[in-house]
């Protein structure tokens, strides 16, 4: 059993395509390294808004955006992950992330986030719709209606807002972002470096 000290904080967004790569990879990498993953859902929207952006920078910078979809094809091929460019990007992830907030300490967090990422980036489903979230939870044999009700409780909404404020305070400006202690790593490209540092910290 890893001790709670040997941990990597994983700040992710279910609307974020590069978070998709890390959600699909992090559990196996952390298990191999004997690390606990601390799941930290937050909302990118308010972070981008604080930078003056009303949507993803991939939409605001068309040339970068065009490149990103090529890069995703290559990255998914490299990691052996399925991929379909979503017909809507970014999708609203507010309800999905509220559910992730409820799930963060639960054993089904990995299965839930993977299933939602597949819905968004493989099956091109509207993860913003409550029906999609319910369907994903049901497929995992979870009490879907009760979980969504908890997710929509004002206390849980507040927790997600506070966690997003915490992300801003930590200097997070994109997703995925990893922390090992106070060391920040940005982007799926740095997941292996973060794991290496956490491993060396033992």
The site for a second copy (CB under 8 A) is made up of 51, 61, 63-64, 66-67, 70-71, 74, 78, 171-174, 183-184, 186, 189-190, 193
Cβ 69 to a second copy shortest distance, Å: 12
Q: How many CB atoms lie within 10 A of CB 29?
A: 16
H-helix or E-strand spanning residue 29: helix 17-33
State the first-to-last Cα distance of the chain, in angstroms, to the nearest integer: 14
Closest to a second copy by CB, 106 or 189: 189
Q: How far is the CB of 105 from a second copy (least distance, A)?
A: 28
Q: How far is the CB of 21 from a second copy (least distance, A)?
A: 13
| Cβ closest to a second copy, residue 11 vs residue 112 | 11
Q: How far is the CB of 173 from a second copy (least distance, A)?
A: 5
Provide the β-strand partners of residue 10: 39, 178
Distance in Å, CB of 56 to a second copy, minimum: 14
Residues whose CB is less than 8 angstroms from the CB of residue 80 and which lie 6 or more positions away in sequence, other chains included: none
| Cα 169 to the center of its chain, rounded Å | 18
Please identify which residue in the block is written with the tokens 């990255």. 75
Give, as one character, the DSSP assignment of residue 53: -
Report the residue number, 100 or 194, with the smaller CB distance to a second copy. Answer: 194
| Residue whose pair of structure tokens reads 């967090």 in the numeric block | 109
Please identify, using beta-carbon distances, which residue of 102 and 180 lies nearer to a second copy: 180
Give whichever of 129 and 184 is closer to a second copy, judged by the CB atom. 184
């Amino acid at each position: 059993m890893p001790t709670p000290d040997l941990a990597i904080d994983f700040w992710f967004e279910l609307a974020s395509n590069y978070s998709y790569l890390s959600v699909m990879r992090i559990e196996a990498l952390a298990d191999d390294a004997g690390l606990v993953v601390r799941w930290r859902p937050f909302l990118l929207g308010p972070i981008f808004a604080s930078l003056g952006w009303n949507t993803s920078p991939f939409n605001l910078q068309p040339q970068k955006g065009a490149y990103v979809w090529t890069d995703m094809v290559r990255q998914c091929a490299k990691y052996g992950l399925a991929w379909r460019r979503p017909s809507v990007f970014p999708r609203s992830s507010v309800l999905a992330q509220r559910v992730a907030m409820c799930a963060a300490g639960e054993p089904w967090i990995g299965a839930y986030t993977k299933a939602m990422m597949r819905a968004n980036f493989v099956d091109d489903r509207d993860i913003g719709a409550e029906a999609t979230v319910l369907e994903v939870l049901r497929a995992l044999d979870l009490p879907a209606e009760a979980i969504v009700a908890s997710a929509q409780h004002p206390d849980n909404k507040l927790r997600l807002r506070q966690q997003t404020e915490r992300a801003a305070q930590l200097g997070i400006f994109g997703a995925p972002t990893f922390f090992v202690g106070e060391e920040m790593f940005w982007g799926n490209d740095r997941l292996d470096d973060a794991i290496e540092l956490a491993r060396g910290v033992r």
